[in-house]
Structures are given as C-alpha cells and as structure tokens.
Amino acid sequence: MAGPRNISVSEASRPVLPRHAKLKYDDTRKVWVILAPERVLAPDEIAVEVLQLCDGKRNVGDVSDQLAAKYAAPREAILADVIVMLQDLADKGFLTEAREKTP
C-alpha cells in the first residue's frame, strides 16, 4: 500500500512530483515554490524547468534530451546534473516514480 521510499533516479526513471508536493508560481512573491506538508521550498529556475518536464510520462533521458536541445549543451553533462538534482529531491521525499502502467 505504501509508496516506495528511497527511490533511485536513473536515466530510465519517470519521476513525478507526488500528490502532496505541488509546484506552483507564487504570484505574490514572484517565485516558483514547491508546497509540501509543513514546508514551502523555493527551487531555482533550472529546477523548475526540469520539474515541469517531469510529468510521469517522460523519463529522465527524455527530459535531458529536451534540455540539451534547448540550451545547445552536451547531453551527458545535462543528464548528470538532472539526476543529481532529482535524486536530492527524492531523498527529501518530494519525488516519486510513475507506476508501471503507461498512461
């Protein structure tokens, strides 16, 4: 019944914010925030861009492809950065993996 804890982010994972973590633009303070139980986090622009691509359909590889194309940057470097960032978020309990069923 319980969702998986301690997920390990790889190129093939399809991460998504869990239902209790909500990415939202705070119109009052003009910043993006992640709302979570008893927490409000302020991710930076890159993190926001990555998280917006994490829809539970794209895998980490797809996300990196897209960012590499957009910024004309080496894919491997982007991929490494994205994994580190998402793993950090997962370790804090603010990231989960999409279930096996592909929507």
Partner 1 sequence: MSDVLPTIPPDTSDSLAVLEKSRSTAETFGIPLAVLLEITHRCPLQCPYCSNPVELDRSGKELTTDEWKKVLSELAEIGVLQVHFSGGEPTARKDLVELVKHASDVGLYTNLITSAVLLTREKLSDLADAGLCHVQISFQGVEDGLADRVAGYKNGHRKKLEVAKWTRELDLPLTVNAVMHRQNLHQLPDIIQMSIDLDADRLEVANVQYYGWALKNRAALMPTVAQLDECTRIVEEARERLKGTLAIDYVVPDYYALRPKKCMGGWGRQFFNISPAGKVLPCHAAESITGLDFESVRSNHSIAWIWQNSDAFNRYRGTGWMKEPCKTCEFREIDFGGCRCQAFALTGDAANTDPACALSPLHETIFKQAEREAEGETNRFLYRNFAGGTLESGNDA
The residues binding partner 1 (CB under 8 A) are 1-3, 5-6, 18-20, 22, 24, 26-31, 33, 35, 37-44, 46-47, 84-86, 88-89, 91-93
Rounded to a whole number of angstroms, the minimum distance from the CB of residue 80 to partner 1 is 13
Rounded to a whole number of angstroms, the minimum distance from the CB of residue 6 to partner 1 is 5
**Where does residue 96 rank: exposed (0-12), middle (13-18), buried (19+ CB within 10 A)?**
buried
The Cβ of residue 13 has, within 10 Å, a number of other Cβ atoms equal to 20
Ramachandran category for residue 51: left, alpha or beta (phi over 0 → left; psi -120 to 50 → alpha)? alpha
Rounded to a whole number of angstroms, the minimum distance from the CB of residue 72 to partner 1 is 22
> What is the rounded CA–CA span in Å between residue 89 and residue 46?
13
Rounded to a whole number of angstroms, the minimum distance from the CB of residue 42 to partner 1 is 5
Q: Of the two residues 38 and 100, which places its CB atom closer to partner 1 in the complex?
A: 38
Q: Is 35 helix (H, G, I), strand (E, B) or coil?
A: strand
Q: Of the two residues 27 and 100, which places its CB atom closer to partner 1 in the complex?
A: 27
* 10 contacts 59 by C-beta, under 8 angstroms: no
Q: Of the two residues 49 and 62, which places its CB atom closer to partner 1 in the complex?
A: 49
